[in-house]
């Protein structure tokens, strides 16, 4: 089977790019599946630059380049199915055009919605929701990352939708399975270090995180890992002037360096306003690092916070008090932190390995490919 995969690669770093690396590595030695990859990463603006005008024009150029590459790849390689990753918003215009072109060329498409806003845009009934419906209609199948998005699409009459989680990288999987490499003593740093990993932007809740840490005497160090704009860094450092919290910006690190930071942290905190399926949460779980995150996207289903075996703590977006309370809860209750870390580790090993997740992809690809044959 030939699969034409349209997805980004680093740089820039990001959840979808990391997923692409993992999937390409997994299929590099699988003879029964040939992945033909087309890189759709952002080339004409910094990923942390979220201005509408810049996004619109750079997105238009990128969409044209991607469409032309898709048509050339489809004609040259004659794939059995195309798999397109989508981050929504203005990118849905590109997705719609590519899906339409694929239909003309007779290539079934699997759209992979990589974000968690679909229930909100459905409720708003805005232009983005109209595009989501059009894209899903044109596709043979849609993959989503959280239960809420699955319910939103199914309740709107779509039956061609599957909920499939993200996998953890092969190297991290091997590390997680070797439980002896991760000791309880590594779970809590003596300096009560709080770690954030991701794009350092307002939409990721970084200002709420800073305020929450400033509210707590037990937090002495706050570390940001990921790309950032200078004005965001300066604003945060200015906000923390005179406080006892040491704030550090480490920028973009390679995967081993990120995992080293995760292992040395008391907890990972991700207070985003919106998310799809954040890889860093699952990676922290594999390392037994307790997680505090907002109840958006796939995070509630990942962390199982309300179950008998919680894998993390959930907080409301933009709620500094609930964020402060959750951080303090893990700092003051070492037994709870270790229990959450153990639960998280077990869930990752049982559900989020590459082999298990990719088996879902293969089933969907084969089903989509069969629909092409039947149409012929």
- Pairing of β 267-270 and β 291-294: parallel
Structure tokens at 91: 């990118």
Quick one: which of 239, 178, 234 has its CA closest to 214?
Answer: 239
Inter-residue contact 275 to 314 (CB < 8 Å) = no
What distance separates the 2 farthest-apart alpha carbons in the chain? 70
pLDDT at 185 (0 to 100):
46
- Would you tell me the crossing angle of helices 279-286 and 255-264 to the nearest 10 degrees? 60
Contacts 24+ apart (CB under 8 A), 252-256: 252/11, 252/13, 252/225, 252/226, 252/227, 253/225, 255/169, 255/171, 255/172
Q: Give average pLDDT by consecutive 10-residue segment, the chain, 376 residues.
A: 96 84 93 95 59 58 89 95 95 95 96 94 97 97 95 97 91 68 47 91 97 94 96 96 94 92 94 93 93 95 94 98 97 94 93 94 95 55
Task: Write the CB contacts of 244 (distance below 8 Å, at least 6 apart in sequence).
Answer: 217, 220
Question: Which residues lie below 8 Å from residue 46, measured CB to CB, with a gap of 6+?
Answer: 12, 227, 229
Question: 192-223: string of b/e by CB count within 10 Å (b at 16+)?
Answer: bbbbbbbbbbeebbbbbbbebbbbbeebbbbb
Cα separation, 347 vs 285, whole angstroms: 8
CATH architecture of 2-167+353-375: 3-Layer(aba) Sandwich (3.40)
Sheet-wide strand order for 2-7: 34-39, 2-7, 81-86, 109-113, 141-144, 161-163
Nearest-angstrom CA–CA distance, 100 and 137? 10
Q: What pLDDT is recorded for position 32?
A: 94
What span, in angstroms and rounded, lies between the C-alpha atoms of 289 and 268?
A: 7
What is the per-residue pLDDT for 190?
Answer: 45
Per DSSP, the three-state class of 357 is helix
What are the strands, taking DSSP E only, across the chain?
A: 2-7, 34-39, 81-86, 109-113, 141-144, 161-163, 193-197, 221-225, 246-251, 267-270, 291-294, 313-315
Number of other CB atoms surrounding residue 302 within 10 Å? 27
CA distance 25 to 4: 15
The phi and psi torsions of 319 (rounded to 5 degrees) equal -105, 95
Q: Hey, what are 335's tokens?
A: 């037994």
**pLDDT score for 175:** 74
3 state SS of 11: coil
Residue 180 is predicted with a pLDDT of 43
pLDDT at 55: 55
| pLDDT of 122 | 97
Q: Are domains 2-167+353-375 and 170-351 of this chain identical in fold?
A: yes
Domain edges within the chain? 2-167+353-375, 170-351
Answer yes or no: are the C-beta atoms of 128 and 291 closer than 8 Å.
Answer: no
Q: How far is CA 58 from CA 43, 47, 52, 90, in A?
A: 8, 11, 10, 11
- The CATH number corresponding to 170-351 among 3.40.630.40, 3.40.50.2000, 3.30.1150.10, 3.40.50.620 equals 3.40.50.2000
């Amino acid at each position: 089977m030939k699969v034409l995969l349209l997805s980004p690669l680093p740089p820039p770093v990001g959840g979808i790019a990391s997923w692409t690396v993992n999937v390409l590595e997994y299929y590099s030695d699988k003879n029964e599946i040939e992945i033909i990859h087309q890189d759709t990463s952002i080339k004409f603006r910094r990923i942390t630059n979220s201005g509408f005008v810049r996004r619109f024009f750079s997105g238009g150029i990128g969409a044209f380049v991607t469409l032309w590459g898709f048509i050339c790849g489809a004609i040259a390689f004659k794939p059995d199915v195309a798999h397109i990753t989508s981050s929504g918003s203005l990118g849905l215009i590109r997705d719609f055009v590519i899906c339409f072109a694929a239909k003309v060329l007779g290539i079934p498409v699997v759209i992979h919605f990589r974000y968690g806003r679909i229930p909100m845009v459905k409720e708003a009934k805005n232009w983005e929701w109209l595009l989501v419906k059009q894209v899903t209609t044109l596709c043979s199948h849609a993959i989503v990352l959280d239960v809420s998005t699955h319910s939103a699409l199914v309740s709107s009459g779509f039956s061609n939708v599957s909920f499939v989680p993200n996998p953890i990288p092969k190297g991290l999987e091997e590390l997680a399975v070797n439980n002896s490499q991760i000791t309880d003593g590594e779970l809590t740093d003596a300096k009560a270090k709080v770690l954030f990993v991701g794009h350092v932007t307002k939409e990721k809740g970084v200002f709420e995180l800073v305020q929450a840490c400033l509210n707590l005497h037990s937090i002495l160090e706050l570390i940001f890992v990921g790309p950032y704009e200078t004005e965001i860094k300066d604003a945060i450092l200015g906000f923390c002037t005179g406080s006892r919290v040491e704030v550090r910006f480490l920028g973009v690190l390679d995967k081993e360096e990120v995992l080293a930071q995760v292992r040395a942290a008391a907890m990972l905190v991700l207070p985003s306003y919106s998310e799809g399926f954040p890889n860093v949460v699952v990676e922290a779980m594999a390392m037994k690092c307790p997680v505090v995150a907002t109840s958006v996207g796939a995070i509630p289903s990942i962390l199982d916070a309300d179950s008998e075996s919680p894998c993390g703590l959930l907080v409301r977006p933009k709620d500094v008090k609930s964020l402060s309370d959750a951080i303090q809860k893990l700092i003051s209750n070492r037994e709870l932190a270790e229990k959450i870390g153990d639960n998280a580790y077990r869930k990752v090993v049982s559900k989020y390995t590459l082999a298990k997740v990719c088996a879902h992809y293969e089933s969907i690809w084969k089903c989509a490919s069969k629909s092409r044959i039947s149409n012929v």
